Amino acid sequence: MDVLTTSAENHLAEALRLLRGLVEINSFTANAAGVNLVAEKTAEMFAELGFEAEFSPCATEGTGNHAFLRRRGAGGDPVVLVTHSDTVFPAEEEIKNDFKWDERPAEGRIYGPGVIDNKGGTLLIWMILRLLKEKRPEVFDRTHWLIASNAAEEITGADFAEQTATRCGGKAKAILVFEGGPVDVRGWHLVSSRKGRSTWKLSVEGRAAHAGSQHGAGINAIDALALALPSIAAWTNAAEERTVNIGHIGGGTVVNRVPHEAMAEWECRAVTPAALAAADAFFASLSGQAANGATLKAERSGHTSPWPGGDEVETMFKHWQAAAAEIGLTAISVPRGGLSDANHLWHLGPTLDGLGPWGANAHCSERSADGSKLPEYLETSSLVPKAVMNVLALESMLGGGVRE
């Protein structure tokens, strides 16, 4: 354990140099050239560890290439290490907010676009594999490794799961997702399940009329929408861990015209497929005619299945729990409401998420003078212990040899 920690500390300066190289590339999802450059830099990082790179176009128009880096070892089902190359920050936003690599040793933090989501995760994978190759070569050499980096995770690029499944033959020894892992008074969070999500749009068609002289001839689309919204919101249910968020509404033009159209968009999240399906069935039933004669059309615009976790995940988590305890830390298994690639990949094998470093404020680029707004940052002190924790857990899970 001490040998691993010392080795990780010795590699930290190089690790931060590599991380800076990734963070300084704008890789907003729609910036295909930037995403591709991050993928290529990632491949260069792992080439020295014996990984061969394959780049494959993302099916979503205007996006970059997925990166698949493989080292076969002794073969068998691969351990799939999952990250992503894209971020949510357009170049214009980074410039406007002066959001760039900003290392602040006094705070113990590094600020920058993607530093925790998810270039820090990519960097941690590199640290883990470097430590395994140097200090646990028997584990490193015999394991079939596949690093899968999504080009469009931030917009849920739908084909990444299919492409990953193809490259691991439809089955993995483990799916390990390196999204950030928070730390609080309870311990170091590892994610063992995630809610699923469906997104919906309700379009309402009424009939326009002069609001003064022909009010009765009109059919008010906004009135019909307003009557439907409470029934949609009512599907939030704490007992079933299901939430509905109506996030966008619109309609009409001017106040002296009966509005002939209106719309609303919302998302629903739930822990279990059944809870999400029940809400979806109700939302679909909204299509038809409203009491005032308006026509309603409900359409599901997106769907991501829940990752329900379960006994297999908790069994795998025990390796990380024991590894954390070995270095004097506490690891806890937590559910999470946000989506990640785990939602799309968990069917390939036992899955664990939140394996990346500790940080906060992902997707935020603003900094206010009073400190009430801080941009995305990485807690530098989390890199070494999280790398060592992962190495010890992988050694245990993969049947490693005697500890040094």
For 351-388, write each residue's pLDDT tens digit: 999 999 999 999 999 999 998 999 999 999 999 999 99
For 256-296, write each residue's pLDDT tens digit: 999 999 999 999 999 999 999 999 999 999 999 999 999 99
Please state at what angle helix 12-23 crosses helix 119-135, rounded to 10 degrees: 150
| Coil, helix or strand at residue 266 | strand
Q: What angle do CA 49, 392, 48 make, to 5 degrees?
A: 5
Length of the chain in residues, anyone?
404
Instruction: Report strand pairing: 351-352 vs 174-177.
Output: parallel
Report the run of H or E that residue 303 belongs to, with start and end: strand 295-304
Q: In this predicted structure, what is the pLDDT of residue 158? A: 75
For 163-190, write each residue's pLDDT tens digit: 999 999 999 999 999 999 999 999 999 9
CATH 3.40.630.10 occupies which residues in the chain?
2-194+306-397
Q: Check: CB of residue 279 under 8 Å from CB of residue 260.
A: no
Q: How confident is the model at residue 401 (pLDDT cuts 50, 70, 90)?
A: very low
Task: Give me the residue label for tokens 């807690």.
Answer: 379
CA 138 vs CA 3, 74, 337, 397: distances in Å: 16, 11, 37, 13
CATH 3.30.70.360 occupies which residues in the chain?
196-304
Ranges of H-type helices in 136-236: 137-142, 160-167, 221-233
Q: Which two tokens stand for residue 270?
A: 């739930």
For 67-76, write each residue's pLDDT tens digit: 999 999 987 8
What would the CATH number be for the domain defined by 196-304? 3.30.70.360
Residues 6+ apart with CB under 8 A from 232: 202, 244, 246, 264, 266, 283, 286
Say whether domain 2-194+306-397 belongs to CATH 3.40.630.10.
yes
What does pTM read for this prediction? 0.91
| Coil, helix or strand at residue 81 | strand
Q: Check: CB of residue 308 under 8 Å from CB of residue 320.
A: no
Q: How confident is the model at residue 402 (pLDDT cuts 50, 70, 90)?
A: very low
Question: What's the CA gap between 166 and 172, in Å, rounded?
Answer: 11
